[in-house]
A and B are shown apart, each in its own frame.
Chain A
Amino acid sequence: MADPTEDLLIRRAVAGDRDAQAALWAWARRFVAAVLVGAGAHESEVQDLVQETAIAFTRGIPALREPAAFRGWLRTLAQNSLRAARRRAPAVPLASEPPAPDHDAFADADEVQAVRRALAELPDPLREALVLKAVEGLSQRAIAAVLGVPETTVESRLARARRALRAALARGRALCGTECPNGRNHEELR
């Protein structure tokens, strides 16, 4: 992590500064959610998994020795939370899930579900890179550091992910025909 402010925050959190830990977590929890979504977690379970990751974060942060490894360490915590949840109960098939109940308009809910279904079709490495980029806004270099892969691999994955997402969304449009949400059914595959 190159940002000296973040670096200082991490060091203070590691040293046991409770305020620094809270501030660091407030910054990091969206990253945790992005990792979980990238790893295939469903929206309905993300909040619980973030909570479990928060507990692991509290327990583990004093042992973190290298601030630069913070994101990678946090990613491992989030993935471990998801793996533990999967051992307790297998993933719910996406197709059997109801639309998100907290959306005002059904069209919006359909749109959200369409995008999430398309995202779920992506292979894990592509989805993870895409979500970290789109949601967290991490640079390709930062994503490479988190994933432990070369930057060129991240760039390649992002290109493939966006192309795959486009194809999956277009397939969704093709399947729903003229009944597509918002009437937008004119997209075509490359």
Chain B
Amino acid sequence: MNTFPHPEDPEAVALARVVAREDDASDWDLLHAIAARDDGVWRRLALALHDDARLRAALRPVLAAADEVALPAAPARLPSRKARLAAAGAVAAAALACAALCLLPERRAANPTDPAEHHELPRIVLQARPAPGGRGTEVVWLRRTLERAVVDRVFELGTDEYGEPRPRPVDAARFAGPVRF
């Protein structure tokens, strides 16, 4: 209901409400009252409706362009900066704890949550069976993530003569094909 006190022209408000399909009886009462002394109000209503149709038609291509924009490939959940820092710490600790081959970005730290650098591949369901207890289904799946980073040099993590973990440079050609690390 048009109950707001407006400094605006009451006719303009009523016309806008009709065009917006938010009109009620009070708007039409007002328009009929105006028409009793100025029937040009119906022409102005027609123009307002026409303007609205023209506006929507003019903007339709813009909306169609927006419809083509999908979300970028990204992990299921992007952690907060705090969580990313915590995760980075955990990754660093894991890297030091193992003597496996590691890739250590030297020029910059690749952001593992960057949509351009981090893609989650379709999950593989390994098993689905009735859940223990008879309620629901137990599903076991494999989550796969493809990551990419640009680095200046490639290192592997080994140990020095004291058994301490130490990175040492390796030839990148060693990784020309799929390599497990």
Contact = CB atoms under 8 A, between A and B. Distances in A.
Nearest to A184: B50
Interface in B1-23: 2, 4-9, 12-13, 15-17, 19-20, 22
Nearest to A19: B76
Interface string A5-34: 000000000011110011001100110111
Contact of B12 (A58, A116, A162): A162
Nearest to A134: B55
B62 A43 contact: yes
Interface string A89-133: 000000000001011000000011001100100000000001101
A22 B78 contact: no
A25 B160 CA distance: 51
Interface centre among B13, B56, B57, B71 (most CB of A within 10 A): B71
Interface of B: 2, 4-9, 12-13, 15-17, 19-20, 22, 44, 47-48, 51-52, 54-59, 61-63, 65-72, 74, 76-80, 113, 115, 120
A45 to B, nearest CB: 10
A134 B22 CA distance: 12
Given A30-B67, A163-B12, A187-B47, A59 B78 contact: yes
A134 B59 CA distance: 9
B48 A166 contact: yes
Nearest to A59: B78
B65 A47 contact: yes
Contacts of A47: 65-66, 68-69
Given A33-B62, A50-B66, 8 more contacts: A16-B77, A18-B74, A29-B67, A30-B66, A54-B69, A55-B72, A62-B77, A156-B6
Contacts, number: 138
A140 B69 contact: no
Contact of A139 (B22, B44, B78, B115): B22
A37 B58 CA distance: 11
A70 interface: no
Contact of B61 (A102, A119, A162): A102
A160 B8 contact: yes
A111 B115 CA distance: 40
Contacts of B115: 55, 58
22 contacts: A18-B120, A30-B67, A34-B63, A47-B65, A50-B65, A62-B79, A103-B61, A111-B57, A112-B58, A115-B55, A133-B20, A134-B52, A135-B59, A140-B20, A151-B4, A152-B4, A152-B5, A152-B6, A156-B8, A165-B51, A166-B51, A187-B47
